[in-house]
Structure 1
Amino acid sequence: MAYASLAPFVLKRPWLHSALKPLANWYANAAGYRQMGLLADDLISEEDETVLKALKRLPPQTAYERTYRLRRAVQLSVQHKLLPKSQWTKPEQDVPYLQPLIEELKAADREAENLDSMTVIKSH
């Protein structure tokens, strides 16, 4: 699923980035996934073929850690509990680990599509 992003626009303007950063942190904390020990990339839906390919490319340790976080979050959800505050995901720990692989795969797919649709014009 493709969607428009304002991130490049905001990141190019330091004053706007510094103004929106507290709001972004508040929103991430309000979303509740950090209180369950999850990372933002853990929330990416696995219904897309590209995401499934990216998950297969994860290093074994990273894949294990993702599975552990997801299972722990499901268990917490069933119990209607949150982790102790000392175990919450800190903002500096919430770094993308899956998104770079997804972008890499999408770029490779676009490149393959461009090469497949290329037409060769013979000159006489």
Structure 2
Amino acid sequence: MSYVTLAPFVAKRPWLSSALKPLANWYANAAGYRQLGLRADDLIPEESETVQTALARLSEKERYDRIFRIRRAVQCSITHRLLPKAEWTQQEEDVPYLGPLIKMVEAELKEKDDLNAITLQKKH
């Protein structure tokens, strides 16, 4: 899940953050996943080992909620209907829950690779 992001650059500049926030909210609403009851982290592909490890670290409730949201969205997609507006994911509810775990797993794997690459030299 390593990718280039401008988030730290924008976060350090409050004027830029406040200018881009309405655009970001518009884009998230236009993407359509909130109308299906999904969160942004529900859209992360599960094929990589890193994501699989992060999913295994989710709490039992969070794992159940994720599966429920995905199954409900698939059912909506099959029937070509959106959820009632009361059931849409609100902006306040759309918080990252999987991204931080993925970053932690990536950091652990990098640390493990770095430790495995260490070469020891004996002093004579």
Shared fold, TM over 0.5: yes
Identity %: 62
Gaps of 5+ in 2: none
C-alpha deviations, 1:3-49, integer Å up to 9, x for none? 21111111111111001010000000000000000000000000111
Shift of 1:122: 2.3
Task: Quote the residue 1:56 is aligned against.
Answer: 56
SS at match of 1:42: helix
Partner of 2:112: 112
Q: Does 1:45 align with 2:52?
A: no
Tell me which stretches of 4 or more aligned residues in structure 1 moved more than 2 Å: 121-124
Amino acid in the other structure paired with 1:28 = A
Give the AA of the match of 2:80: H
Aligned equivalent of 1:34: 34
Q: CA deviation at 1:2?
A: 2.5
Tell me the residue number matched to 2:81. Answer: 81
Report what 2:96 is aligned to: 96
CA distance in 2 between counterparts of 1:34 and 1:68 reads: 14
3-state secondary structure, aligned to 1:93: coil
Quote the Cα distance in structure 2 between the aligned partners of 1:123 and 1:55. Answer: 45
Shift of 1:101: 0.7
**1:65-98 CA deviation, whole Å, 9 max, x = no partner?**
0000000000000011001111110001001111
Work out the CA distance in 2 between the residues paired with 1:39 and 1:2.
20
1:11 maps to which residue?
A: 11
**1:118 Cα shift?**
1.0
Q: What's the RMSD between the two structures over aligned residues?
A: 0.8
> Any unmatched runs of 5+ in structure 1?
none
Find the aligned partners of 1:15 and 1:46 in 2 and give their Cα distance: 36
In 2, Cα distance between the equivalents of 1:118 and 1:84?
56
Question: How far off its partner does 1:104 sit?
Answer: 0.6
Number of residue pairs aligned between Structure 1 and Structure 2? 124
